[in-house]
Amino acid sequence: MNKKPLNISEEAAVQMPMKTVASLILIVALGTMGYFQIIERLNIADTRIQIMEKDLEENTEFRIKWPRGQLGSLPADSEQFMMLEDIYKNLDRINAHLENMALNKVNIEFLRGQMDKVLVDIEELKDANRDLGYKNGAYND
């Protein structure tokens, strides 16, 4: 073997078959394309992770605040609350009417007792008036 030192300069010529040059260009192109595809996949995965973390934070906030009523209420809930409020108003009005009816019952029973007493007194007065007419000797119907 030749133990000469290798002299490389700007004018040094290298000869290579075209097939090898094309293969090297193709290998470099494929390597570059593969690198950028891997980077793109990593970017997609990172974006998905960031979106999932954001959704997770919003879900956690919703899960905590919704039952406490800090995020408002559904329209159906608002409608139900209005209906319940109307039912309570009607119930209060009905209760007041029932109380008045109970007082009316007491008043009617009192008046019925008074009327019975008046009827008894009227009958006694009629009887006394008849007796009076017989005692005087002139009975007028």
Structure tokens at 11: 């004018």
Residue 104 has, within 13 A of its CA and on its CB side, a CA count of 6
Q: Rounded to whole angstroms, how far apart are CA atoms 39 and 106?
A: 92
Q: Which residue has the higher pLDDT, 121 or 14?
A: 121
Q: Rounded to whole angstroms, how far apart are CA atoms 39 and 104?
A: 89
- Return phi, psi of residue 9, to 5°: -140, 180
pLDDT of residue 134: 65
pLDDT digits (tens, 9 = 90+) for 115-129: 999 999 999 988 888
What residue spans of 1-141 are helical by DSSP H?
Answer: 18-68, 75-136
pLDDT digits (tens, 9 = 90+) for 58-114: 999 988 888 787 777 777 778 888 999 999 999 999 999 888 887 888 888 889 999
Give the three-state DSSP class for 140: coil
